[in-house]
Structure 1
Amino acid sequence: MGIFSRFTDIINSNINALLDKAEDPEKMVRLIIQEMEDTLVEVRSASAKTIANKKDVVHQINKYTQEAADWEAKAELAISKGREDLARAALQERQKADTGAESLQHELSLIEDELSKLQNETGQLQDKLADAKSRQKTIVMRQNTVSSRLEVKKRLDSSTVDDAMGRFEQFERKIDDLESQVEAYDVGKRSLKDEFANLEADTQIEDELSALKQKMAASKQKAANTDNADDVKKA
């Protein structure tokens, strides 16, 4: 009963439900496949024994049937010879053979029913085994992917990443300080290009200053000429 009880449990089981409850789906699917394969081996062995038992029962039924036919022939012979007593005894033996055959025929019917159910359930188990094997690779891949994602999530949520980013910021500040020091060394130092640029700027300013003086002088002279003209008109 142990083999058939476990066999029925596997046939009726929901693989998805088993995987949902499992802490390690990859390990669980391997165990399911192994259990199915082991059960198939045991069931096939039991089936072989049952088939052998069926053949033995069929052989005994044929033997009883042949004995009944032989006793029937002997009863007919006895009657033909006027020996009713022997005919009666032969018929009794035939009846025993018929009874034995009928009893074994009932047993054979039970064996055939069990074999039919077993073959049907074996087919279901083979289908489930094929399904589990075809999904095994996908389940393992999903398990590995989820494990990797979980590891990344743990690292992102931990202080390790924050500490690393803090160190990066410290390095950036140090580099900023170094750059500031370099720039400080250049303060007050002018290159040859800077000197010429300053000369050009000074020349431009002097030209603008001279133009402004000339403009103001011209305006002043114009105003003086206007005043002199007004005085002449009055005189």
Structure 2
Amino acid sequence: MGILSRASYVIRSKVNAVLNRSEDPTETLDYSYEQLRDELQDVKQGIADLTTQKKRLQIQKRRLEENVEKHNDQARQAVEQDRDDLARQALEKKKQKMSQIEELEGQISQLQRQQDQLVEQKDELQRQIEQFRTKKETMKARHEAAKASARVNEAMTGAGDEMEDVSRAIERAEERTEDMEARAQAMDELRENGALENQLDDRSSLEKELDAVQQDGEVDAELDTLKSEMGKEEEPTANGGDEAAETELEQELEDDTVSDVEVDDSEVEAELDELKDEE
């Protein structure tokens, strides 16, 4: 096999494979059915043409038969008038017309036989078309049922292309969600450990440390002032009752730190007024 022959064979096989994949059996059946109907219409048209031609020959034959009668009458009239010459001419024309009639009868008979054959072929073709139509509709119904069943099975098993796309979309969404959850957990851990600085705070690390020291100093100064006002400065703990009070105070402070309590603004203002009066 030469190179061109092999290339042609490969191309034809590829084209046939593409056509087989893209071919719709229902469309193919409908097209074949229409082709048969077109052939049936051609046969009917051929029968109509033969019938028309036969009718023309029959009309021509009838006119010739009328001429034969006419020439026969002319010959009788000529004999009555003792005009044998005219009678001979009329009989000769009569003979010619009869020969033409015989020829026409042969043609008409031939056309009739052809017409009968075409009618038989038309009837047979029509029967085949009806059988094909019944089989076509049955095959189409089976094909549609099989296609629907295949779609249902693919949907249930996830074997179809659309289900594969859906599965891939779900997998991508799960991966992105897991990545985002892991990122959020990492950010929380960094923020809790202090490794992640507040981007809105433009202070340097030194300034932050100084502010923290200053805040601690202010708290200590306020604590010393509070102790001096209450006469508790540098006094050791007297008895177990004071220790219990300190423990209870520590517990209250812890509870205030942990719980999220709603504070009334009016109560805060009243407490501030009391502190001012004491001063």
Q: TM-score, normalised by structure 1?
A: 0.52
Match of 1:67 in 2: 67
The question of whether the paired residues in 2 share the 8 Å contact of 1:71 and 1:90 is answered with yes
Separation in structure 1 between the aligned mates of residue 128 and residue 32 of structure 2, nearest angstrom: 10
AA paired with 1:50? L
Q: How far apart in 2 are the matches of 1:81 and 1:53?
A: 42
Asked if 1:27 is matched to 2:27, the reply is: yes
Displacement of 1:131 after TM fit? 1.2
C-alpha deviation, 1:91, in angstroms: 0.8
Contact kept, 8 Å, 1:33 with 1:129, in 2: the verdict is: yes
Q: Which amino acid aligns with 1:60?
A: Q
Query: Which amino acid letter does the alignment assign opposite residue 33 of structure 2?
Result: I
- How far 1:155 sits from its partner (Å)? 7.7
Q: Distance in 2 between matches of 1:155 and 1:143?
A: 22
- Counterparts of 1:115-194 in structure 2, within 5 Å, are 115-147=115-147
Aligned to 1:57: 57
Question: How many pairs are equivalent?
Answer: 140
Distance 2:119 2:88 in 1: 46
Task: Report the counterpart of residue 89 of structure 1 in structure 2.
Answer: 89
Aligned to 2:38: 38
* Deviation per residue, 1:108-167 (Å, 9 max, x gap): 0011001111111111111111112222221012223445667769987xxx8xx99xx9
CA contact (8 A) 1:29 1:132 kept: no
Cα RMSD for the two superposed structures: 2.8
Comparing both chains, which one has the higher relative contact order based on Cα–Cα distances under 8 Å and sequence gaps of 6 or more?
A: 1
Partner in structure 2 of residue 106 of structure 1: 106
Q: Distance in 2 between matches of 1:92 and 1:112?
A: 30
Partner of 2:202: none
Separation of aligned partners in 2, 1:114 and 1:137 = 34
Q: Which runs of 4+ in 1 moved over 6 A?
A: 153-156
Q: AA paired with 2:70?
A: D
More helix by share: 1
Deviations 1:168-225 (A, max 9, x none): xxxxxxxxxxxxxxxxxxxxxxxxxxxxxxxxxxxxxxxxxxxxxxxxxxxxxxxxxx
Structure 2 unpaired stretches of 5+: 1-22, 172-279
* Alpha-carbon distance, 1:73 to partner: 1.3
CA distance in 1, matches of 2:56, 2:150: 61
User: Structure 1: any 5+ residue segments left out of the alignment?
Assistant: 1-22, 168-235
Cα distance in 2 between the residues matched to 1:72 and 1:142: 74
With normalisation by structure 2, the TM-score equals 0.44
- The one-letter amino acid paired with 1:67 is N
Shift of 1:64: 0.7
User: What secondary structure does 1:82 align onto?
Assistant: coil
Per the alignment, in what secondary structure is the counterpart of residue 78 of structure 2? helix
Deviates most, 56-65 or 135-144: 135-144
